[in-house]
Amino acid sequence: MPRRSAALTILTLLLFPVSTLAQDAATHVRTGMLTPTATVNPLHQPVGQALSSAAQSRPKGGRPIHPSQSAFGGVNQGPAAFAAVSQGPEGVATPFGANTSGKLLSNFNGVSSLDSAVTNFGAEFEPPDQGLCVGNGFVVEPVNSAFTIYRHNGSVVAGPFNVNVLFAEGLTEFTSDPRCYYDRSTNTWFATILFIAADNMSARTDIAVNTSGDPTTPWTVFHLDATDDGTNGTPSDPGCPCFGDQPLLGIDNENLYISTNEFSILGPEFNGAQIYALSKSDLIHNRPVHFVHFGNLTIGGSIAASVQPAINNGEAPAEYFLNSLDPTGTTDNRIGVWAMTHQARVSAGRTPVLSSLVIATETYGVPPNAVQKGSTSLLTTDDDRMQQVQFINGDLWGALTTVLTPAKDTTVRAEIAWFKVHPRLSGDVIGAADLRAQGYVAAFGNYLFYPAIQASEEGTVAMVMTLSGATFYPSAAYTILSGERDSFGPIKVAAAGAGPYDPQATRWGDYSAAVIDPNGKSFWLATEYIPPVASQTPDGLRNWGTRVLQLSVESD
């Protein structure tokens, strides 16, 4: 991420002390159309070949490497590259123990390194960036390189399969960062993934859509070009051909939203966040899809990155987004709040209105790497990007990994910062955003990282994350905020790690996942941890796994 001087950072803080409508805007806005590329049956696994040496040099899950990406996790370096650059804030430690709400209904192993190797001709990848979607009695979990379809009790319906099957890509092609969502209002499954061509000359976001309600039936695939080489009617950005790193997924009643970070495929250039709005009605009716692209976004006087679109649960006056602002790569006390209004214009080939502002928050910053029991190897916690965002009952919920020193602790650690924001429109644009609640979730003597957060209509909020420390192997943990409380309750270990992570790997997943069950009565959560040996590859390398949890919304 581009850097700027401390003096300029201070000036920005003075200019934007609480909230202010941003004067920044996208450098270009364009409309376009997509046509269906293919129809795929996820149960029909094509025959492939072993990975070539060229494919091994950039395997799935390992995106192109550029020094400028290290500011927000798009790089696979050793742990020393991510040492904390600041002491950061101090926060109250969260106790361990039984939660007062959120009965654990399901708790099973999801996709693992073994599944990845079995479906990828023995090749082993990291990290398992994690999608999770739930509907009609199915649980679908795509991660980098593999996906499986389960029942609610963890029994396997289908899979594991090579994740490329779902997106009509060759089995050895480079893909990364899958996400998915089941839309109850249209009985439709949506899934997305990043694709980069083997010749490094083109890239796109693949979108798979299933309108049957049954994820084991055929999906229709669309390809959204992200190459930005000047052939789409707009001038090429610096360093292109480019790719849209880590596609982020949001949805409302009108559109599917995808936000990416644009990087040069071969160079160091970073061209800022990109937002795409795609007509949901066009996608589900399998017709040419109208979309709008907002390019090269800025906010708070700096280039914007990782603008997280919200998953909307119910009616919403706009599509909202949150992003962290940390232009110096140290600490900050602001976040960006975005609104897209007139969303129905997308289906008509017209342009909606995108606006943003900056609000003051608690301090957060780039976290240090995480210690793990039984190893001197550290886990890279990477960055302080805003993670998954939800909009429900008029409020936005978001969380991120931050540098923090738990109270009475003597060590700077990776912990969690969370935010509850109430956005307000002024005509076509966002006029204000009230910070209704915020706080930290911190484990004394331990590390918490890669949170995913989900609220219910009743006001209960669930958060899942990885827990690690001198006395914990990397484990799956969660915590609950009950409607009557203003802070999260005790940290609960849902699945204890079975050992340390491969010391030659060190890189941990870029995100976890959380979703509300379509019936509104339970949360579904998933995160990375170290599973039992039976779920690991035979050689013990890249020995990651994932854990899927279902929690009741009601109190025990």
Are residues 495 and 478 in contact, defined by beta-carbon separation less than 8 angstroms? no
What confidence tier does 158 reach under pLDDT thresholds 50, 70, 90? very high
Tens digits of residue pLDDT in 224-246:
999 987 776 677 888 999 999 99
Closest Cα partner for 375 from 496, 489, 468? 468
- What is the DSSP secondary structure assignment for residue 286, as one 8-state letter? T
pLDDT for 60 beyond 50: no
Count up the domains in the chain and report the number.
Answer: 1
Q: What's the confidence (pLDDT) of residue 84?
A: 41
Exposure pattern of 423-443 as b/e (b: 16+ CB <10 Å)?
beeeeebbebbebebbbbbbb
pLDDT for 76 beyond 60: no
Mean pLDDT along residues 302-314: 93
Phi and psi torsions of 513, nearest 5°? -145, 145
Are residues 332 and 300 in contact, defined by beta-carbon separation less than 8 angstroms? no
| Residue 466 is assigned to a structural domain of this protein | yes
pLDDT for 25 beyond 80: no
Give 335's strand partners: 324, 359
Q: What's the confidence (pLDDT) of residue 7?
A: 27
Determine the Cα–Cα distance for residues 213 and 219; give it in Å rounded to an integer: 11
Phi and psi torsions of 181, nearest 5°? -155, 135
| Residue 4 is assigned to a structural domain of this protein | no
User: H/E element holding 469?
Assistant: strand 461-469
Between 174 and 556, where is the model more confident?
Answer: 174
| Residue 316 is assigned to a structural domain of this protein | yes
| Residue 151 is assigned to a structural domain of this protein | yes
Residues 6+ apart with CB under 8 A from 33: 288, 289, 290, 291, 349
- At residue 526, the 3 state secondary structure works out as strand
Determine the Cα–Cα distance for residues 452 and 379; give it in Å rounded to an integer: 18
Two tokens at 203? 């890239």
Mean pLDDT (the chain) is 87
Determine the Cα–Cα distance for residues 391 and 108; give it in Å rounded to an integer: 27
pLDDT for 291 beyond 90: yes
Are residues 318 and 340 in contact, defined by beta-carbon separation less than 8 angstroms? yes
Two tokens at 164? 């490329």
Mean pLDDT along residues 492-518: 93
| Residue 9 is assigned to a structural domain of this protein | no
Q: What is the 3-state secondary structure (H, E, C) of 65-102?
A: CCHHHHHHCCCCCCHHHHCCCCCCCEECCCCECCCCEC
Residue 357 identity = L
Mean pLDDT along residues 263-290: 95
| Residue 11 is assigned to a structural domain of this protein | no
- Other beta carbons within 10 angstroms of residue 140's beta carbon come to 26
Residue 418 burial by Cβ neighbours in a 10 Å radius (0-12, 13-18, 19+): buried
Tell me which residue range forms the domain holding 327.
24-45+100-552
Residue 539 burial by Cβ neighbours in a 10 Å radius (0-12, 13-18, 19+): exposed
Two tokens at 408? 């009475």
Q: What is the pTM of this model?
A: 0.91
Tens digits of residue pLDDT in 162-206:
999 999 999 999 999 999 999 999 999 999 999 999 999 999 999
* CATH number for the domain that contains residue 203: 2.120.10
Q: Cα angle at 308 between 404 and 310, to 5 degrees?
A: 115
Mean pLDDT along residues 509-527: 96
Pick from 192-196, 408-412, 535-539, 549-553: least confident: 535-539
What confidence tier does 123 reach under pLDDT thresholds 50, 70, 90? confident
Tens digits of residue pLDDT in 10-21:
222 222 333 334
Tens digits of residue pLDDT in 464-478:
999 999 999 999 999
What confidence tier does 44 reach under pLDDT thresholds 50, 70, 90? confident
Between 549 and 93, where is the model more confident?
Answer: 549
Q: What's the confidence (pLDDT) of residue 229?
A: 73
| Residue 420 is assigned to a structural domain of this protein | yes
Phi and psi torsions of 414, nearest 5°? -90, 125
Mean pLDDT along residues 420-449: 97
Strands 331-341 and 319-324: antiparallel
pLDDT for 405 beyond 70: yes
The winner for highest mean pLDDT among 10-19, 121-130, 314-323 is 314-323
Are residues 290 and 266 in contact, defined by beta-carbon separation less than 8 angstroms? no
| Residue 61 is assigned to a structural domain of this protein | no
Two tokens at 69? 């990406």
